[in-house]
Amino acid sequence: MHRRTLLAACLAAPLFPLLSRAQTDHSAQPDHAAMGHAMPAAPAAGASPRPPAGAPLAAWPTLGAQASLHATPGVLDWGNGLHSPSWGYNQPALGPLFDWQAGQPVRIDFANALPEASNVHWHGLDVPASEDGHPRDAVLAGGQRRYQFTVPDRAGLFWYHPHPHGRTAFQVAMGLAGPIRVRRHDEPLPVDGIDEQVLMVTDQRLLADGQIAPHSDADWMDGREGDLLLVNGQYQPVLSVQAGQWLRLRLINACAARYLTLSLPGHAWVQIGTDGGYLATALPPARILQLVPGQRADVLVALDAAPGSRVVLQSLPYARGKMVSAEQSQPEALLTVQYRPQAAVKRPHLPARLAEIQPLPAPAIRREVVLSETMRMDGGTHQMAFLINQRSYDDMDRADFTGRVGQVEEWTVHNRSDMDHPFHLHGAAFQIRWRQATGQRRQPEPWLGWHDVVNLRPGESLALRFVQRQAGDRLFHCHILEHEDQGMMATLRVVG
Ligand code: C2O
Ligand code: CU
Ligand code: CU
């Protein structure tokens, strides 16, 4: 049933009082304690203190395939006396960029210095299920483990983040996430004349004293958006560029719930890659680039503005059917692109073909996946439930589907709710076959690419195909982390 119908039916009179009270009144909040959330009293959502802006974009600390990764509490120093106790990998927040080669053996020694269980999920990489940060394989506080796998043969941009049961949203909000870049020996683009930057976008909300704001009740429904948009952990940094070159941005939306609608005024996006690597050919130039939580894009921008000029990379408002919080209403600045004064240089030609992508053949098995939300009365409190095929992820050992290694699957995913949900699958990249917006005809997907996250608008359905190459339990879930934590997640058990 649709949420607004339900809200109207079961909450009729108290609806608006309940929702407006929800930010401050503890008694009205859903019972997250039952799911293991420690729920501190939710503060009224005020504006975060602003960190100083305008520092040069810093280079990522970079690690290779043999490394140590320590999840650890730290203190973020924003400058101007603003400090935030936070969690990070090897640093106060976020983590190093892993730079790997396809086929390379990886050995990461993970130590968990956090006060609670955590693990590492290699988002988008089809590594063995035992190495992929399944919530069952959480590393207890103070514990350690080694992650070992071979880098899959897929050039692209991936990322890592914690995936413990019910605690992912909290841990990511505290700062845990980092990028992974995989290159192959046959990279299609020239090296000269292309300025490549990995940009991981996150958002944060701080209390007046700098502490990371705890989740509010509204956050648990809508997904948490912070009012500070950060690029590589920095607040409105400056990227200096050379006129005439290509700027290659490798973008990750690592926000828990914020949709990004990226615009660089006066410039166009030429998309050359998706979540799972290169497209066969570049897409036509576009003014807007949408990136939903979990998604990545590889884009080229022709730097054709005047030397010395500057332009602001921004995210335009997008309404995603939030239940409680206000929708985005104005553009948000992410980063300033500052052209150096030097005269424009010539940029290299791009190859016509970037990669070979074969459409996956007809499926051996078809399944239906339904995303839904319901609100129910539970012991006098209103509790939201976020479901997949009417079930909540409350059993880490349950198989919702059983599939076979090497078999082509076709899933039709339906969003039967009033909010957008970004659907994500572990263990394999998928190809989208068609999409059908509510009340519209089915549209075949116009181009072929590899994805591991795809957005579904309310009422939308779409079909995707994939093949799992290794046995094990693979999760699929909404990548709004609060929805994932509250049960909008399920298991595909792949058997040999
Ligand atoms: Cu990035 Cu299961 O997620
Ligand atoms: Cu993932
Ligand atoms: Cu969702």
Residue with the smallest CA separation from ligand 1 atom 1 is 123
Q: Mean per-residue pLDDT for 472-492?
A: 98
Which of 104, 105, 117 minimizes the C-alpha distance to 176?
117
Task: Look at residues 374, 250, 409 and name the one whose alpha carbon lies nearest to residue 2.
Answer: 374
- Which phi and psi (to 5°) does residue 19 adopt? -70, -35
pLDDT score at 239: 98
Residue 49 CA to ligand 2 centre (angstroms): 32
The whole-number average pLDDT for the span 463-487 is: 98
Whether 134 is in the pocket of ligand 1, judged by its Cβ within 6 Å, is: no
pLDDT, one tens digit per residue, over 240-295 is 999 999 999 999 999 999 999 999 999 999 999 999 999 999 999 999 999 999 99
Q: How many percent of the chain have pLDDT more than 70?
A: 91
Q: Is 205 in the pocket of ligand 1 (CB under 6 A)?
A: no
Beta bridge mates, 118: 139
Q: What is the pLDDT of residues 398-416, one digit of tens each?
A: 999 999 999 999 999 999 9
Q: Which ligand is nearest to the CA of 478?
A: 3
More confident residue, 393 or 19: 393
Distance 246 CA to ligand 1 centre (A): 31
Round to whole Å and give the CA distance between 464 and 279: 17
Task: Measure 217 CA to ligand 2 centroid, in angstroms.
Answer: 25
Residue 31: predicted pLDDT: 37
Distance from residue 275's CA to the centre of ligand 1 (Å)? 12
Token pair, residue 18, equals: 């309940």
Q: Near ion ligand 2, which residues have CB within 5 Å?
A: 123, 426
Does residue 18 carry a pLDDT above 60?
no
The Cα–Cα gap between 127 and 105 comes to: 11
Residue carrying structure tokens 């082509």: 408
| pLDDT at residue 25 in the model | 34
Q: What is the pLDDT of residues 125-164, one digit of tens each?
A: 999 999 999 999 999 999 999 999 999 999 999 999 999 9
Residue 474 in this model has a pLDDT that exceeds 60: yes
Cβ atoms 225, 326 nearer than 8 A: no
Spatial distance between the Cα atoms of 164 and 2, rounded to a whole number of angstroms: 29
Instruction: Quote the mean pLDDT of the chain.
Output: 91
* 176 CB within 6 A, ligand 1: no
Distance 254 CA to ligand 3 centre (A): 15
Q: Phi and psi for 136 in degrees, rounded to 5?
A: -65, -30
On whether the pTM is more than 0.85, the answer is: yes
**Cβ(161) – ligand 1 distance below 6 Å:** yes
Ligand 1 atom 3: residue of nearest CA: 123
Residue 21 confidence (pLDDT) above 90: no
Look up tokens 């200096």; give the residue.
Answer: 240
Instruction: State residue 377's pLDDT score.
Output: 72
| Amino acid 380: pLDDT | 73
For ligand 1, whether the C-beta of 250 sits within 6 Å is no
Ligand nearest to the CA of 452: 2
**CA 129–ligand 1 middle distance (angstroms):** 13
296 lines ligand 1 (CB under 6 A): no
Helix (H), strand (E), coil (C) string for the chain: CCHHHHHHHHHCCCHHHHHHHCCCCHHHCCCHHHHCCCCCCCCCCCCCCCCCCCCECCCCCEECCEEEEEEEEEEEEEECCEEEEEEEECCCCECCEEEEECCCEEEEEEEECCCCCECCEEECCCCCHHHCCCHHHCECCCCEEEEEEECCCCCEEEEEECCCCCCHHHHHHCCCCEEEEEECCCCCCCCCCEEEEEEEEEEECECCCCCECCCCHHHHHHCCCCCEEEECCEECCEEEECCCCEEEEEEEECCCCCCEEEECCCCCEEEEEECCEECCCCCCCECCEEECCCCEEEEEEECCCCCCCEEEEEECCCCCCCCCCCCCCCCEEEEEEEECCCCCCCCCCCCCCCCCCCCCCCCCEEEEEEEEEEEEEECCEEEEEEEECCECCCCCCCCCEEEECCCEEEEEEEEECCCCEEEEECCCCEEEEEEECCCCCEEECCCCCCECEEEECCCCEEEEEEECCCCEEEEEEECCHHHHHCCCEEEEEEEC
Closest to 325 in 3D by CA, of 42, 6, 126: 42
CA dist., res. 5 & res. 196, Å (int): 48
Report pLDDT for 253. 98
Cβ(475)–Cβ(490) below 8 Å: yes
pLDDT score for 471? 98
